């Protein structure tokens, strides 16, 4: 689920009823289809889907559905750990009428149980929760540990596609790419400007209204690393630039207080800008 996504529930919203109503777009037991997604999910009488792609942390599913609309011969699977997100995403899937999109409950921690080696052509990481504090860094979807898991289920030419409004998370994510043996194919600190026709979501539109820019990369697994180890600083405070002007009007999610503290220190000229900042 994209970070900061607070869904305002309509009056009389009943989660169980919603999940039942849109059950046609939900696979409740994704572990049963490991290695079989492309042909098992194809409409009766149709050939297997050309490839399978995963939108990890799909939120309300608008990105997943739009991608499915654009590429009808590809199966798009949206995954989220939040049942409310799955309910809304499944509604979008059902209302689209598209046969090549479905949604599953789950997390990245069990991705190797849901998909067979080489089964996925692409994994989308759209606005993952940054978890800025050091103690929570292991939860990030862009950690080298997660990237190592992704490379198991990705095809040899498969891709990981990251989009985030958090510049500190993006800079941290770039350090993880070589540690996990990936090759960076494309990266941008203003992805919407460079690729304006890429699908968007309600969340990204909302961010744009606040002045956020989207950072993005596309990475492909290269030769597998031997005994990969974390060598990067994991606290996102370390990736905040000394020039805070880039954060005028917008601060990355979860780092608002830290950036304000840095501004206060700079204003008071009280020692080094980064002294004592721990997350």
**pTM for the model:** 0.89
Give the integer Cα–Cα distance in Å for 272 and 109: 39
Residue 53 pLDDT exceeds 50: yes
**pLDDT tens digits for 113-138?**
999 999 999 999 999 999 999 999 99
Give the integer Cα–Cα distance in Å for 234 and 252: 16
Helix (H) or strand (E) holding 278: none
Helix (H) or strand (E) holding 191: helix 191-194
Place of tokens 């978890």: 131
**How many contiguous H segments (helices) and E segments (strands) does the chain have?**
10, 7
Give the integer Cα–Cα distance in Å for 190 and 213: 6
Give the integer Cα–Cα distance in Å for 103 and 264: 45
Query: What is the average per-residue pLDDT within 142-149?
Result: 97
Residue 225 DSSP one-character state:
P
Quick one: pLDDT at residue 270?
52
Nearest CA among 2, 15, 29, 4 for reference residue 91: 15
DSSP assignment string, 110-143: GHHHHS-TT-EEEEEEES-----SGGGGGG-TTS
Residue 196 DSSP one-character state:
T
**pLDDT tens digits for 56-67?**
999 999 999 999
Quick one: pLDDT at residue 7?
59
């Amino acid at each position: 689920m994209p970070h900061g996504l607070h869904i305002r529930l309509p009056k009389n919203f009943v989660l169980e009823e919603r999940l039942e109503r849109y059950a046609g777009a939900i696979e409740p037991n994704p572990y049963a289809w490991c290695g079989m997604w492309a042909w098992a999910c194809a409409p009766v009488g149709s050939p297997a889907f050309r490839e399978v792609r995963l939108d990890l942390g799909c939120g309300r599913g608008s990105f997943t559905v739009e991608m499915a609309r654009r590429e009808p011969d590809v199966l798009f699977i949206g995954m989220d750990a939040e049942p409310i997100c799955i309910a809304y995403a499944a509604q979008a899937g059902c209302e689209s009428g598209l046969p090549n999109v479905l949604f599953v409950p789950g997390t990245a921690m069990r991705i190797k149980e849901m998909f067979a080696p080489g089964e996925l052509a692409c994994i989308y990481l759209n606005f993952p929760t940054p978890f800025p504090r050091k103690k929570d860094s292991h939860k990030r979807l862009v950690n080298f540990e997660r990237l190592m898991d992704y490379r198991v289920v990705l095809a040899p030419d498969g891709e990981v596609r990251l989009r985030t409004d958090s510049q500190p998370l993006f800079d941290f994510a770039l350090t993880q790419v070589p540690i996990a043996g990936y090759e960076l194919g494309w990266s941008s600190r203003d992805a919407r400007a460079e690729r304006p026709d890429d699908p968007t979501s309600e969340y990204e539109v909302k961010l744009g209204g606040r002045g956020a820019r989207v950072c993005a990369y596309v990475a492909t697994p290269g030769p597998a690393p031997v005994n990969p180890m974390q060598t990067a600083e994991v606290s996102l405070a370390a990736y905040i630039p000394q020039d805070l002007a880039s954060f005028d009007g917008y601060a990355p999610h979860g780092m608002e207080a830290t950036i304000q503290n840095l501004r206060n220190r700079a204003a008071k000229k009280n020692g080094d800008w980064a002294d004592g900042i721990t997350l």
